[in-house]
Structure 1
């Protein structure tokens, strides 16, 4: 069973031309040739009976005639590789390459040519694809990969083409600029953020329908009613857009090929678009995976930092609680010591620190401040005053007032 990828490669490189001709005498008179031979040299079959030199274009004759003379004089077959030929004329014309083999025959030569254009293009395509996959594997920035892909397609396409890649927002409702190295900057800026929807240009429609949308003439297609003036300013006449889909079918973006003149795509054009849309999907999915991984790592790092901050805060609170406990224990010890030392000193019977409501507890401890004021109180009110009133300390009968403060 032929896979989609294999089918696309056959569309791109499965067509090949074989040319053949029979020549007679030293003048290489054309005796017979197949239609492909006449197409390759740009002449009609009425050239039978004429010397080949009179039929070949100048550039082509300069390459082939020396080969014919050499084989005719030596009798040894020879091959000319990668001979460049322009097939057709005008807009449909295309560049082609042939390997031409000339063999001696009785009374003349036999010319056989096999087109190698497809091989050369396949080699270039595979090289470009391999380079892009290497960029993806080494996690090159997505913009770099998409820009390189766009330039590769523009160089591989048989006709001038301008490539654009738009990236879908996470909700799939809008398309953002991804890469478009050959489109004007004002055009890229104008379509950055366009909505996905039926009839919204080629790309918006392709994204909405999840299928290719081929607009062969922007000047007349209704999909381009809202963007026709913009396209005219950018000198764009046709736009073929292919949706870029993830493996689960979700929208990743669009891949568009623009042309300067109205144009209907060939099967090979559509195959090229599908091949590179798959490459773009690989790059974008890899980018999304890396983004998700980086986001998860950032969240994990933030959680680790938050846990570390919580642990530090807990440690500080624990240390502070321990310091407070030690201070409280020390203060309690001092209160007990002061009470023991002052028990014999004359003092009022009741606590003087109870405030307006008073306190009936026994006065046991004398406290003072830096201004020389002093009072007697119970241990509870004395401790409360020491903790909450600035410059209050335990006084003694030997050192009272400011002197006690200075000598504490």
Structure 2
């Protein structure tokens, strides 16, 4: 198991220190989700748009080490840009000498299973020689992918809070939350929410729209405890448990065959805690391939674990109120006789 960087023991829930820590943590999560914009730069030459040079951020954005090459036409280095119209735009700038600016432009970088959706603000600027003739195109841009994703997630988060305020059924809220995260995540993930029983000793199915039914049935009712997969351990420890490779992690010894059958290779689990620190459940993100989380992934988990906690506590309060009203009615009925 890989430990979460910066993990620490939280102060007791409900104290002033705990509230301050929670506020600081929330601010940190927002910054992690919105990320940092990084400028990309590339210099292209001639009508073939030969890549002469580019900064490190450019190569990182387009695919990393495998694409860190110069001396090739951009359309050859990044053939996916041809069908998406970006090479045509370069042709136009080279031909006319007119600058082109794009805002929040969507581009799919890479091909096949490694392809990713990205967004950029960018400018194609003609490069002129001493005689004023176009000799190439300069590409200057800022990747806004993380900001775009955070904006989408913020909208979904707001919708979930509105559902909770309307007292929508808990299964609907949790299922909607899971589907929203799966749809908006930049890489394929499968979300699972497990709900703790009253004594916190077992976890039961809450929502997992993309995990196989046989898998959800098999883990329904698992015990909380050290070494009981990612979720059982996270519930026991009351801290996130990040398993980057299920095939080799001892926490998954008893569930490895089940995970293999379900096609999951990594599982990051975050405990869902009430305001008083008691266990409400777990929020987990599964991956098809071994993977370690980035800070934005951990922030996303914390934000939606807190949202799930709000929904679960509201549901429990409603159930308690209904039970109290039922007892009161029963008592009045007894007095009537």
- What is the TM-score when the length of structure 2 is the normalising length? 0.81
CA distance in 2, matches of 1:44, 1:220: 32
2:143 maps to 1:96: no
Contact 1:214-1:241 within 8 A present in 2 as well? yes
Q: CA RMSD in A?
A: 2.6
Q: Render the CA deviation track for 1:62-117: whole Å, top value 9, x for unaligned.
A: 52233234334544422134140426x88766432222212345333432111121
Other-structure match for 1:68: 90
Q: Render the CA deviation track for 1:237-293: whole Å, top value 9, x for unaligned.
A: 222211100111111111112223332222222222111111111111111111111
Other-structure match for 1:22: 43
- Tell which deviates more after alignment, 104-113 or 268-277: 104-113
Contact 1:244-1:253 within 8 A present in 2 as well? yes
2:70 maps to 1:46: yes
Greater relative contact order (CA < 8 Å, ≥ 6 in sequence): 2
Q: Structure 1's 54 and 233: CA in aligned 2 closer, same or farther, altered over 3 A? A: closer
| 1:232 Cα offset (Å) | 2.9
Contact 2:178-2:192 within 8 A present in 1 as well? yes
Other structure's SS at 1:3 match? helix
User: What pairs with 1:105-254 in structure 2 (closer than 5 Å)?
Assistant: 105-107=127-129, 108=134, 109-254=137-282
Q: Render the CA deviation track for 1:37-79: whole Å, top value 9, x for unaligned.
A: 34445643432xx654554425347522332343345444221
Other-structure match for 2:57: 36
Contact 2:33-2:147 within 8 A present in 1 as well? no
Other structure's SS at 1:248 match? coil
2:313 maps to 1:285: yes
2:303 maps to 1:275: yes
Other-structure match for 1:12: 33
- What is the TM-score when the length of structure 1 is the normalising length? 0.68
Contact 1:24-1:30 within 8 A present in 2 as well? yes
Other structure's SS at 2:286 match? strand
Other-structure match for 2:100: 78
Contact 2:195-2:282 within 8 A present in 1 as well? yes
| 1:226 Cα offset (Å) | 2.6
2:282 maps to 1:261: no
Contact 1:71-1:104 within 8 A present in 2 as well? yes
Q: Render the CA deviation track for 1:353-374: whole Å, top value 9, x for unaligned.
A: xxxxxxxxxxxxxxxxxxxxxx
CA distance in 2, matches of 1:104, 1:218: 51
Q: Structure 1's 133 and 55: CA in aligned 2 closer, same or farther, altered over 3 A? A: same
Contact 1:246-1:285 within 8 A present in 2 as well? yes
Please identify the structure whose Cα radius of gyration is greater: 1
Q: Structure 1's 230 and 20: CA in aligned 2 closer, same or farther, altered over 3 A? A: closer
